[in-house]
C-alpha cells in the first residue's frame, strides 16, 4: 500500500506540473500584432521598409528571441500626409496592435503621438528626429535613432572649431526644420555664437521661392550657411545657390544628415548635382563597425534585388536603425510576456460620451499593457548592428555620434567624428570611451577641408555685402582734451590721436571696411561716455572711438580694444651713467658742500668755546692754544672722538648740532645710492 500511495502522489505531482506548464504556455500568445507607418516612395521609407521586413523575418526564425511567439507586421503608406497617418494609425487600433514602428517624419509624429497617448500604444520611430518629441507631452513616443539636438551640437562644434561666430540657417518651416534650428540656436549660444539670419522655406518650395529666399542671403555679412531641410529641397537650395554665385570661394556650406542620406541611398548623383555640392561639409549618423553590421551590409544587395527601378538602392544609416528597432521591440515584448504581461484591450472610455456616428471609432481599444511594454522598451539593453542599444533617462539612445564628411570630386572624404563624449576628433568615438572625456579646445581636431571653389585656406566667414550698410561709429564731441579726438569745425570730419590710431588699424586690414563717423554730444559739454557705450548695445552705433576709459560696468556692455594710452602717476628723472668705485660716497660732497661743512664745524667750535671757556679748564690758556682747541674740537666732533669734556647747560645744543651733522652725512650716502640706481 505504501508503494501504491507513493506512485499516486508522483502521478498527481507530475499532472499538476504539466497543468501549470500548459497554463504558462497558454498565456503566451502565438502572434503579436505590430504596425509600421512609412512613406513607401521616399528614400527613408524605401530603405526602412526593406530593413524592417528583414528584421521581422530574422526575429521570427529565431525561437530564442520570443520563445515561439511570432511578430505579425502590418505596413501602411502615409505618403507624406499627416492626415493619412492619422487614418492608418486608427486602423491599427482595430487589429489589436501593441506597438507601431514609425511614423517616418516629425510632422506626422506630432499628430499621431496624441493618439498614442490616448490608446497607450508605443511609437518607435527611427527617423523622426525633432528634439521636441522627447518632451513629457509625448510619453509613448520613443526615438530609436539619434536626437537632432546632438546633430546641432555637432554643427555648433564645427562652427566654433573654425572660429566663426555667425551663421545663416536655411530650413524647412515645419516641425522638423523649426525645432531643429531652435536647437541649433541653443547650441550656438553655448559657444558664444549666434544665428544672424533665418531663411524659412515651404516643404514643397518651388525654385522661384527658393531663389527669392536666397537673395536675402546675398545681403548679409555672414558666409557660413547651415542647411537643415529634406533631401529634395536641399538639392534645390544648392542648385539655386550655385546659380546665384553663393558656392564660390569665401562661402561655407554645412549640411545636416539629409545630404549623407542622399549620397548613401543613390548609387550616383548627376554631374550637375555633384558640382553644386563641391566643398560642402556634411554630417552622417555614425555606427561603429562590427561583425553584425558587416554581415547585414553583405546581405543588403540580395535584399534589394528587384526592389528599385531606378538602380541599386543603397543602405543608409536609417536602414540600420530600422533593423535594430524591430529587434528592440522583440526584446521588449519578450520581457513583457516573461513578466506575465497580458495582451488585453479595453474600450476607450472617452468614446462612450461621444457620438462617433459612422466613423466606426468604437472598434478602437486601449492597450492595457501599454505602459508596461513602454517601460520594457526603455529598459532594453543589447548590442545590435548600430552598436550598443540602451536608453538614457532622457529617452535618448546612448553614445550619440556623427561622421563629419567633406564632398570632393565625385565622392566624399571623412575628416573626423563628433560625439557628445569628447567632441570633435579624428579617431572613431568607440576608441575614446575607454579614456576620460576631454572636450577642451586643444583636444578638438579635424583633418584639413577642401572648401568651395577648391580653396584650401579656411574662409574668413564673413564679408561686406554689395549694397550693405556702413558701420556707424560714434565719436564723442569733447570740449576738453581735444588732442585725443575733436571734430573739425564746419565739417563732418574728426581728428586727434584716437582717430589716427583707428585709421592706422583700418589700413592694416587686407580688405575694405566702409564706415561712417557720427558725432555724439552737443559740443558744449563733454558727453557721457558710458551712455555712448550703452548705445552700442541698443544698435544705435556699431562701435565707438575716443578716449573712453575701460571700467567695470562698461566692459559688461561692450568689448574694448587693448588700451593704447596709459594713465597714472609717473616720476621723470634724468638718466646719467656713472661709474661706481670705492670713492663713490664722496660724489654728493661738492666744493660748496665742503665749504659749508667746514664753516659749520668752525661755528660749532666757536659756540662751544664761548659757552665753556669760563668754566672749563680745557678751553683756557694762551690765545694760540684756544684757537687750536676750537679747531680740534670742531674736527674731532665729526668722528665723535673729542677729548674735551663739556659742562655747560647748553650741552643739548651741542648734541643737536652733532645730530644735524650725522643726518647730513646719511643724506649724502642716500643720494649716492639713488644715482647708482638711476
C-alpha cell at 460: 574668413
Averaged pLDDT score across all residues of the chain: 83
pLDDT in tens, 254-272: 999 999 999 999 877 888 8
CA distance 485 to 457: 39
Burial class (CB in 10 A: 0-12, 13-18, 19+), 414: middle
**Geometric angle at alpha carbon 675, from 673 and 678, rounded to 5°:** 110
List CB contacts of 671: < 8 A, sequence separation 6 or more: 587, 588
Looking at per-residue pLDDT, the higher value among 534 and 630 belongs to 534
Cell numbers that stand for 657 in this block: 648740532
Beta bridge partners of 167: 195
Strand partners, 34: 73, 99
**Lowest pLDDT segment from 13-17, 30-34, 78-82, 98-102:** 13-17
- Say if residue 183's pLDDT is above 90: yes
- Phi and psi torsions of 383, nearest 5°: -110, 120
The model's pLDDT over 451-488, given as tens digits with 9 standing for 90+, comes to 998 899 999 888 876 656 788 999 998 888 888 888 88
23 upstream amide cis, omega within 30 of 0: no
Dihedral sign for Cα atoms in the order 427, 288, 185, 234: positive
Determine which of 150-159, 210-219, 308-317, 523-532 has the lowest per-residue pLDDT on average.
308-317
Answer yes or no: pTM beyond 0.95.
Answer: no
Q: What would the grid cell of residue 337 be?
A: 510576456
pLDDT of amino acid 666: 59
Phi and psi angles of residue 550, each rounded to the nearest 5 degrees, phi first: -90, 105
pLDDT at 358: 46
pLDDT for 564 equals 81
Answer whether 405's CB lies under 8 Å from 284's CB: yes
Scanning the structure block, which residue is given the C-alpha cell 499538476? 16
Q: What pLDDT, on the 0 to 100 scale, is given for residue 670?
A: 54
Note the pLDDT tens digit of each residue in 345-376.
887 765 544 554 444 555 678 889 999 999 99
Closest CA to 149 of 175, 174, 131: 131
Pairwise CA distance, residues 370 & 71, whole Å: 17
Q: What is the pLDDT of residue 266?
A: 85
Q: What is the mean pLDDT of residues 277-304?
A: 93
Q: How far apart are CA 546 and CA 486, in angstroms?
A: 9
Scanning 28-147, the segments in alpha helix (DSSP H) are 43-60, 63-66, 82-92, 106-119
pLDDT at residue 96 is higher than 50: yes
Task: Please state whether beta strands 543-544 and 471-476 pair in parallel, antiparallel, or not at all (unpaired).
Answer: parallel
* 3-class SS shares of the chain: helix, strand, coil, % to 5: 45, 15, 40
Predicted confidence band at 5 (pLDDT cuts at 50, 70, 90)?
very low
Would you say residue 29 has pLDDT above 60? yes
Quickly state the pLDDT bin for 301 (edges 50, 70, 90).
Answer: confident
**What pLDDT score was predicted for residue 653?**
54
Strand 411-419 and strand 423-425: pairing? Answer: antiparallel
| Grid cell in block for residue 61 | 526564425
Give strand pairing partners of 486. 495
Give the confidence band of 656 by pLDDT, cuts at 50, 70, 90.
low
The Cα-based distances of 583 to 182, 579, 635, 669, 672 in angstroms read 81, 10, 21, 11, 10
Task: Give the H/E segment covering residue 325.
Answer: helix 317-338
Query: Model confidence at 128, in pLDDT bands (50, 70, 90)?
Result: very high
Question: Can you tell me the mean pLDDT for 433-445?
Answer: 86
Query: Which carries the bigger pLDDT value, residue 369 or residue 582?
Result: 369
State percent of the chain over pLDDT 90.
43
* More reliable by pLDDT, 23 or 628: 628
User: Which tens digits make up the pLDDT trace of 486-538?
Assistant: 888 878 888 899 999 999 998 888 777 888 899 998 888 888 889 999 999 88
**Using CA of residue 409, residue 414, residue 419, residue 423, what is the dihedral sign?**
negative
d(Cα 195, Cα 167) in Å, to the nearest integer?
5
Q: What confidence score (pLDDT) does residue 221 get?
A: 85
Output the nine-digit C-alpha cell for 314.
543603397
Q: Give the containing element (helix H, strand E) for 199.
A: strand 194-201
pLDDT at 642: 55
The pLDDT of residue 654 is: 55
Q: How confident is the model at residue 118 (pLDDT cuts 50, 70, 90)?
A: confident
Kindly compute the dihedral angle of the four CA atoms of residues 449, 451, 457, 459, in this order, to the nearest 10 degrees.
Answer: -120
Helices (H), 120-265: 148-161, 175-190, 207-218, 231-243, 258-265
Give the separation between CA 412 and CA 278, rounded to whole angstroms: 9
- Rounded to 10°, the helix 175-190/148-161 angle is 40
Q: What does the pLDDT average to over 145-152?
A: 94
Tens-digit pLDDT profile for residues 197-211: 999 999 889 999 999
CA atoms within 13 A on the CB side of 224: 21
Whether the per-residue pLDDT at 3 is higher than 50: the answer is no
Structure-block grid coordinates of residue 283: 554630417
CB of 255 within 8 A of CB of 282? yes
Contact at 8 Å (CB) between 648 and 618?
A: no
Are 279 and 407 in contact by the 8 Å Cβ rule? The answer is yes
Amino acid at each position: 500500500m505504501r508503494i501504491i500511495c507513493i506512485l499516486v502522489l508522483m502521478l498527481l505531482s507530475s499532472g499538476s506540473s504539466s497543468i501549470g506548464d500548459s497554463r504558462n504556455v497558454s498565456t503566451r500568445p502565438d502572434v503579436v500584432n505590430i504596425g509600421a507607418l512609412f512613406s513607401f516612395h521616399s528614400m527613408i521609407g524605401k530603405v526602412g521598409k526593406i530593413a524592417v521586413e528583414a528584421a521581422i523575418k530574422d526575429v521570427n526564425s529565431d525561437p530564442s528571441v520570443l520563445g515561439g511567439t511570432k511578430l505579425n507586421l502590418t505596413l501602411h503608406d502615409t505618403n507624406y500626409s499627416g492626415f493619412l497617418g492619422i487614418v492608418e494609425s486608427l486602423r491599427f487600433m482595430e487589429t489589436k496592435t501593441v506597438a507601431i514602428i514609425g511614423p517616418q517624419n516629425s510632422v506626422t509624429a506630432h499628430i499621431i503621438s496624441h493618439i498614442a497617448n490616448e490608446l497607450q500604444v508605443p511609437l518607435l520611430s527611427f527617423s523622426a528626429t525633432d528634439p521636441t518629441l522627447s518632451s513629457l507631452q509625448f510619453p509613448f513616443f520613443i526615438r530609436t535613432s539619434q536626437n537632432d539636438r546632438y546633430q546641432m551640437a555637432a554643427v555648433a562644434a564645427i562652427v566654433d572649431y573654425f572660429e566663426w561666430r555667425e551663421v545663416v540657417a536655411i530650413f524647412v518651416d515645419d516641425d522638423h526644420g523649426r525645432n531643429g534650428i531652435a536647437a541649433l540656436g541653443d547650441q550656438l549660444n553655448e559657444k558664444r555664437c549666434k544665428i544672424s539670419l533665418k531663411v524659412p522655406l515651404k516643404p514643397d518650395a518651388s525654385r522661384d521661392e527658393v531663389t527669392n529666399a536666397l537673395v536675402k542671403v546675398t545681403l548679409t555679412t555672414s558666409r557660413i550657411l547651415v542647411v537643415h531641410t529634406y533631401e529634395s529641397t536641399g538639392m534645390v537650395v544648392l542648385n539655386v545657390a550655385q546659380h546665384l554665385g553663393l558656392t564660390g570661394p569665401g562661402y561655407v556650406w554645412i549640411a545636416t544628415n539629409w545630404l549623407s542620406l542622399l549620397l548613401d541611398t543613390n548609387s550616383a548623383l548627376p554631374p550637375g548635382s555633384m558640382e553644386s555640392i563641391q566643398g560642402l561639409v556634411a554630417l552622417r549618423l555614425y555606427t561603429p563597425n562590427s561583425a553584425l553590421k558587416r554581415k547585414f551590409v553583405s546581405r543588403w544587395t540580395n535584399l534589394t534585388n528587384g526592389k528599385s527601378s531606378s538602380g541599386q538602392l543603397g543602405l543608409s544609416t536609417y536602414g540600420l536603425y530600422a533593423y535594430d528597432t524591430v529587434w528592440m521591440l522583440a526584446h521588449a515584448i519578450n520581457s513583457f510576456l516573461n513578466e506575465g504581461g497580458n495582451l488585453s484591450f479595453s474600450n476607450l472610455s472617452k468614446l462612450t460620451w461621444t457620438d462617433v456616428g459612422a466613423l466606426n471609432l468604437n472598434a478602437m481599444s486601449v492597450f492595457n499593457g501599454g505602459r508596461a511594454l513602454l517601460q520594457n522598451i526603455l529598459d532594453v539593453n543589447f548590442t545590435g548592428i548600430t552598436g550598443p542599444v540602451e536608453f538614457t533617462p532622457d529617452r535618448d539612445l546612448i553614445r550619440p555620434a556623427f561622421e563629419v564628411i567633406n564632398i570632393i570630386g565625385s565622392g566624399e572624404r571623412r575628416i573626423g567624428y563628433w560625439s557628445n563624449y569628447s567632441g570633435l576628433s579624428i579617431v572613431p568615438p568607440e576608441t575614446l570611451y575607454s579614456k576620460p572625456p576631454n572636450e577642451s579646445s586643444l583636444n578638438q581636431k579635424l583633418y584639413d577641408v577642401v572648401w568651395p571653389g577648391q580653396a584650401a585656406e579656411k574662409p574668413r566667414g564673413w564679408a561686406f555685402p554689395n549694397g550693405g550698410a556702413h558701420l556707424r561709429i560714434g565719436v564723442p564731441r569733447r570740449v576738453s582734451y581735444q588732442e585725443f579726438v575733436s571734430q573739425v569745425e564746419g565739417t563732418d570730419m574728426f581728428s586727434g590721436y584716437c582717430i589716427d590710431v583707428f585709421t592706422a588699424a583700418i589700413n592694416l586690414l587686407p580688405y575694405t571696411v566702409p564706415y561712417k563717423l557720427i558725432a555724439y554730444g552737443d559740443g558744449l559739454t563733454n558727453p557721457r561716455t558710458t551712455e555712448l557705450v550703452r548705445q552700442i548695445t541698443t544698435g544705435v552705433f556699431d562701435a565707438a572711438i575716443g578716449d573712453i576709459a575701460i571700467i567695470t560696468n562698461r566692459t559688461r556692455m561692450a568689448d574694448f580694444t587693448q588700451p593704447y594710452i596709459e594713465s597714472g602717476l609717473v616720476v621723470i628723472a634724468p638718466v646719467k651713467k656713472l661709474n661706481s668705485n670705492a670713492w663713490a660716497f664722496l660724489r654728493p660732497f661738492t666744493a660748496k658742500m665742503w665749504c659749508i661743512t667746514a664753516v659749520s664745524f668752525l661755528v660749532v667750535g666757536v659756540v662751544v668755546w664761548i659757552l665753556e671757556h669760563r668754566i672749563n679748564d680745557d678751553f683756557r690758556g694762551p690765545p694760540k692754544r684756544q684757537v687750536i682747541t676750537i679747531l680740534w674740537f670742531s674736527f674731532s666732533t665729526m668722528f665723535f672722538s673729542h677729548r674735551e669734556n663739556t659742562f655747560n647747560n647748553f650741552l643739548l645744543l651741542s648734541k643737536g648740532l652733532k645730530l644735524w651733522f650725522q643726518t647730513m652725512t646719511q643724506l649724502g650716502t642716500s643720494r649716492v645710492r639713488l644715482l647708482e640706481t638711476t
